[in-house]
Amino acid sequence: MKKSKGASKGKGVFRTAILVLCGLVVGFNIYTANANNLVGEQLPMPFGYGAAVVLSGSMEPELSTGDLIIVKETADVKLKDIVVFQDGRSLVVHRIVSISEDDVVTKGDANNVADQPIELADVKGKVVFSVPAIGTLVNLFKTPIGVLLTIIIAVALIEIPRRREMAKDEEERKKIIEEIKRLKEEQF
């Protein structure tokens, strides 16, 4: 039995996609760990964009705990923009309620009191997009167990179909050998 080239090619593309995804997850984790631990940067922004997970309900109902936010690095912020700034080793995601030439005052939508003014230069960027609840899954992938789980799933998604193919090929090979034996016996 001859395998179709399209089916084999599709499986190869799938395996490659899984390996690339696994590599991206592991690479991203290494990159962010280095940014966090070596430089103290809580929101690395390669190519001018970064991703973070909302950790509190201070921006409810606009942003909820566990939402994934995409932040664009920019100094061009205005009143009512939702911005991200680093406060010590923590990131804060709040809305600008007052802005001057050098300072901004932010406040969480669900908070009663505004934050202390911060320098405009301390604003990392503004939130340009959010994905509800997916941040919880993203945070899982950042843990050592999440990375290990990603690798195990990737290996399983690649190895299980490969083993099935090998078993099928072995079964076909045995059938061919049996057919050859049968034909040889008929000749004599």
> Tens digits of per-residue pLDDT, 124-154?
999 999 999 888 777 777 778 887 887 888 7
Q: What percent of the chain has pLDDT over 90?
A: 41
**pLDDT above 60 (res 6):** no
Distance in angstroms (rounded) separating the CA atoms of residues 34 and 161: 35
Look at residue 1 in the predicted model and tell me its pLDDT: 46
Distance in angstroms (rounded) separating the CA atoms of residues 5 and 17: 18
Owner of token pair 């320098």: 119
Query: Once rounded to an integer, what is the mean pLDDT over residues 90-107?
Result: 93
Catalytic residue among 8, 56, 98, 130: 56
Provide φ and ψ at 96, rounded to 5°. -75, 125
**CATH architecture of structural domain 43-132:** Ribbon (2.10)
Torsion of CA 99, 105, 109, 110, to 10 degrees: -160
Distance in angstroms (rounded) separating the CA atoms of residues 89 and 81: 22
Give the C-alpha distances (Å, rounded to integers) separating 159 from 20, 71, 87, 152, 175.
15, 37, 45, 10, 24
Check if the beta carbon of residue 93 is closer than 8 Å to that of residue 59.
yes
Is residue 90 very low, low, confident or very high in pLDDT (cuts 50, 70, 90)? confident
Provide φ and ψ at 185, rounded to 5°. -65, -35
Look at residue 30 in the predicted model and tell me its pLDDT: 67
- In the structure encoding, which two tokens stand for residue 64, read together? 């909820």
Check if the beta carbon of residue 75 is closer than 8 Å to that of residue 120.
yes
**Known catalytic membership, residue 56:** yes
- In the structure encoding, which two tokens stand for residue 75, read together? 């100094």
